[in-house]
Structures are given as C-alpha cells and as structure tokens.
C-alpha cells in the first residue's frame, strides 16, 4: 500500500520514473474520505518518453517466439495468484467496492491473463495450396507496434487486464494510463510485471488525465488505442485517434434495461436483480439502471426490490458483512444525490430514499443509500442519463413490445436482461435485443474473458471488441503472402 500523499511514479523503459508534473490529483479511500496518495497529471513529454521506450523494445519483442512471450504471462498469472488478496484489498481501498466484489473483478482479470497464455494457438494464421496452379496463399498474424490503453475508475485492476496481456503476448509493446482516481492497484501490478522477464519498454505505465489521453491519441508512434470510460470521452478518443490513423476500440457508458415478465421466478430473480442495480454501488457499465416490469410483474417487482434493497448493509467494503460500499468520490456522491433530487422534481415516485443514509464510524465516507424510484418516464432525465450510482428507476410496461420501444429509443445499448420462465419470451428477447450483451435470468451479462466484451450504438465505438478472439485480431495484422516457386 502506498504511503499517504505519495506522488506515484511512472514505469517507463523498465524503471520507476518520477513525473515532472506541476499538478497532482488526490487519490481517496472513499470509505473514509482520506487522501491516500496523489496522481501526477503528466505533461505530453512524458508520454513521448514512454512511446520511445516502447518503440525501442518493439523489434526485439515482436521477434520473440509467441510461446516465450506467453511464458511471461504464465509467470504474471502466478504472481497475481500469490498476491491476490493484497491486490483485492488495494482495489477496495482505492475504489470502495466490497472485498468480495474486488476479489470477483480481480478473478475476471486473472482469467484474461489465462486466456492470453493461449497465444501460440490463438495467433495461428491459415493458408491454402494451389489458389492457382503452383501458387500458395497464407495469412500470418503479426504484431502491430506500440499499443496504448486508457482505463476508467470503476474496475481499477480488471479493465487494464482486458488489454495488457493480449497486447503483450501478441508481440506488441504497451502503454497503460490508469484512471487518475484509482492508480494504486496498477502500481502494484507493474511491480509484479517487473518480475516477469519482460524486456525493458515492453510494458509502461504513465499517469495523468486529459493531456496524457490526448497525447496518446495524437502520437504518431502509437498504432492502436483502447479506451474504456464515459460515452462523451469514448467518442472524443475514437474520433481523435482514428483521425491520427490508429486502430481504436472505445467503450463508452450505458443505461441498461432489465425486463421482468409476470412469469418470472421472483424469489430467485429479485436477489439477482438487486445485485445488478446495487453491486459495486451501481458503478458498473453492466449494472441494471432501468427496470421494466411487464403487466402484473409491476407490484411484486417493486415491493420485493424495495425490501431487498433495504436489507443491504452499506459501509466500508473492507468490513465483514458489508454488501455495498461508497461511491468513488465526494463529487460523484453529489452528482448521484443531484439526480435523486432531480427525479423528485421531475415527478417520479421516490419509493426508497438513499439520501439520508449515514454510516457509523465512517462519517467522512462517500456513501449513498440504495434508492428506488417508481413511475419513471423515459422522458425524465433519471430515466435517460447514466447515473452510475445505487439508483433504480422503475417503469411499468404493458408488454415486451413497449419495453423494446423504450430500449431501442435510447442511444446506449451496452447490456440488457430479461427475467422470465418462458423460453419463448427469452428467445424473442435475445433475438430482438439491440444491446450487445444479453442476459436471460442473469443480472449482469458480463461475457467471460474468452468471449468478446463490448456494447453497441453509443456504448461502443470501433469494430473489434475486448478480450476473447477479438483481442488477438485487434492486436495483430493479418498479413497475406502469395507465393510461386519456379
């Protein structure tokens, strides 16, 4: 764990390097409201140093056999297992989510490393003899160069692992810019990466904010940019980095709709739905945001959700028994509370009010209690904008068609779920849904690391998605060779 007020160093070219930044931002423990470190807002010149180091490492690393590259990730995986609890605790301390949630997200990250270890098989090309008489044709997947990734605050350990292992095993060199709000678990991971026999410059860590992001988008030495964050920034990054000629995948924000049919198994569904809305204090891009109960499902869904949300124990995620932690910052808390005030003004029915919540022994923490609104119309701001907090918006609908009308009119299309015991309704839902991650009796439809992850419309800008086979495609170019021998 970092010393209080420590200004975090970069990791460039195999060395821990202090930043010359004039400005820093505080990193908080959100459960206590304390400052635990400071993130430098690096100037452009420090991005340049990282690109130089990564570019210098590329020729040697790209020629290293895939099986040798994969071994470095086997070692990384082993170290992540050995330090699993330590890293999970850092995630809880810097982000606020409960220790169980931190463990779950880190497990997902470790699984990405495991999938990346399959690089020798996953990077195989293909070929055909005699495409014309005596002429053969083959495709070989080759690394593309220096790749960069920019991460959000809500999954400090996991999201960087959506990218780093795949980029590196594919033979690229890599620069990570973590969220300035949660940089500590990445510092620890890079200390572990130092022990993984990676040549200097293969992996680099640069701290910062907007200026670093813009420099990564513009730098002519970078071939590909991966971004995860809010929709407005995802759109900017996509436009700016593609304009500079780069390959880009930019994952944006979400407003996820959950449909409950009258034939749902309420006893089993409500705990799952509760977890979807309030897990990680609602700070998940796959969190349920709007609940659309169909017909007679309205009353039981609302009453049981309120009861279940009330039973959550809000507090410091490091404490046993706590089931919901704080939100990330005082500013974000104000933002979420502002949405609740607005919902009341807009005329939605506040069925459970999380605003008055106080957590004993943590008076400075950034807590918001679980909140439920009923009668939220799609034209209300709270029914439309991403709140990214523990606030559920209910809207009764007559049938599945009405639910689709509401969902399809929304610009985001990240994830959606249906709760039903009808195979017919589930099939129709999965077929018609325009979001790219669909759950059937699943609250958080998160694809595993061997499947692609990413949404549609304003939730995803790009083509190839995150992890799974798409990752190997994103991080390589398919070179075609056509040959004839006389």
Residues that bind ligand NAD (CB under 6 A): 150-154, 177, 179-180, 209-210, 213, 228-230, 233, 236, 251-254, 285, 386, 388, 414, 455, 459
In terms of CB distance, is 152 or 171 closer to ligand NAD?
A: 152
Q: 5-9: long-range contacts at Cβ-Cβ below 8 A with a sequence spacing of 24 or more?
A: 5/35, 5/37, 5/38, 6/37, 6/38, 7/37, 7/38, 7/39, 7/40, 8/37, 8/38, 8/39, 8/40, 8/183, 8/184, 8/187, 8/207, 9/187
Parallel, antiparallel, or unpaired for β 256-260 and 415-419?
Answer: parallel
397: phi then psi, degrees, rounded to nearest 5? -125, 155
CB of 179 to ligand NAD, least distance (A): 4
Count of alpha carbons within 13 angstroms of residue 415, beta-carbon side: 25
Q: What angle, rounded to 10 degrees, do the helices at 99-116 and 66-82 form? A: 160
CB of 98 to ligand NAD, least distance (A): 18
In terms of CB distance, is 12 or 400 closer to ligand NAD?
A: 12
Q: To the nearest 10°, the Cα dihedral for 196, 199, 201, 207? A: 20
Question: How many Cβ atoms from other residues are within 10 Å of residue 218's Cβ?
Answer: 15
Catalytic residue check, 196: no
- d(C-alpha 151, C-alpha 212), whole Å: 12
Q: Are 171 and 61 in contact (CB under 8 A)?
A: yes
In terms of CB distance, is 60 or 232 closer to ligand NAD?
A: 232
Instruction: Using DSSP, state whether 168 is helix, strand or coil.
Output: helix
**Active-site annotation holder among 112, 147, 196, 285:** 285
Nearest C-alpha neighbor of 113 from the set 169, 68, 61: 169
Q: Are 16 and 207 in contact (CB under 8 A)?
A: no
Residue nearest to ligand NAD (CB): 229
CB of 409 to ligand NAD, least distance (A): 19
Residues carrying an active site annotation = 285
């Amino acid at each position: 764990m970092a010393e209080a007020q420590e200004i975090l160093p970069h990791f460039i070219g195999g060395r821990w390097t202090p930043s010359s930044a004039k400005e820093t931002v505080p990193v908080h423990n959100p459960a206590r409201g304390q400052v635990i470190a400071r993130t430098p807002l690096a100037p452009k010149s420090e991005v340049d140093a990282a690109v130089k180091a990564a570019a210098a490492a590329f020729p040697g690393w790209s020629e290293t056999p895939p099986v040798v590259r994969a071994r470095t990730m086997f070692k990384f995986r082993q170290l992540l297992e050995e330090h699993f609890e330590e890293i999970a605790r850092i995630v809880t301390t810097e982000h606020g989510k409960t220790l169980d949630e931190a463990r779950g997200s880190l497990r997902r990250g470790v699984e990405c490393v495991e999938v990346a270890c399959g690089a020798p098989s996953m990077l195989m090309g293909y070929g055909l003899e005699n495409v014309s008489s005596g002429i053969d044709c083959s495709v070989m997947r080759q690394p593309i160069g220096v790749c960069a990734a920019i991460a959000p605050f809500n999954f400090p350990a996991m999201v960087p692992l959506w990218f780093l292992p795949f980029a590196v095993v594919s033979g690229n060199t890599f620069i990570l810019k973590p969220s300035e709000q949660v940089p500590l678990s990445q510092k620890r991971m890079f200390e572990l990466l130092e022990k993984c026999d990676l040549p200097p410059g293969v992996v680099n860590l640069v701290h910062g904010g907007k200026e670093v992001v813009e420099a990564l988008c513009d730098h002519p030495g970078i071939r590909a940019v991966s971004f995860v964050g809010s929709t407005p920034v995802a759109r900017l990054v996509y436009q700016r980095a593609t304009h500079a000629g780069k390959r880009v995948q930019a994952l944006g924000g979400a407003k996820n709709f959950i449909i409950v049919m009258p034939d749902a198994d309420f006893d089993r569904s409500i705990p799952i739905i509760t977890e979807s809305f309030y897990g990680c204090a609602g700070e998940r891009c796959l969190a349920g945001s709007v609940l659309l109960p169909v017909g007679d499902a309205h009353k039981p869904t609302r009453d049981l959700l309120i009861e279940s949300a009330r039973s959550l124990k809000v507090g410091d995620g490091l404490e046993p028994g706590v089931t919901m932690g704080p939100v990330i910052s005082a500013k974000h808390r104000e933002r979420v509370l502002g949405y609740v005030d607005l919902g009341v003004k807009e005329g939605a029915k506040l069925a459970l009010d999380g605003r008055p919540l106080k957590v004993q022994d943590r008076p400075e923490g950034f807590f918001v209690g679980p909140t439920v609104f009923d009668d939220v119309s799609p034209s209300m701001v709270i029914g439309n904008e991403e709140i990214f907090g523990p606030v559920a918006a209910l809207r009764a609908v007559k049938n599945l068609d009405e639910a689709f009308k509401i969902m399809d009119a929304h610009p985001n299309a990240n994830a959606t779920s249906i709760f039903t015991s009808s195979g017919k309704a589930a099939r129709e839902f999965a077929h018609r849904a325009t979001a790219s991650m669909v759950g059937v009796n699943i609250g958080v439809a998160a694809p595993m690391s061997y499947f692609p992850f990413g949404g549609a419309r304003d939730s995803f800008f790009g083509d190839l998605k995150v992890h799974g086979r798409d990752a190997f495609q994103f991080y390589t170019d398919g070179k075609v060779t056509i040959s004839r021998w006389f």
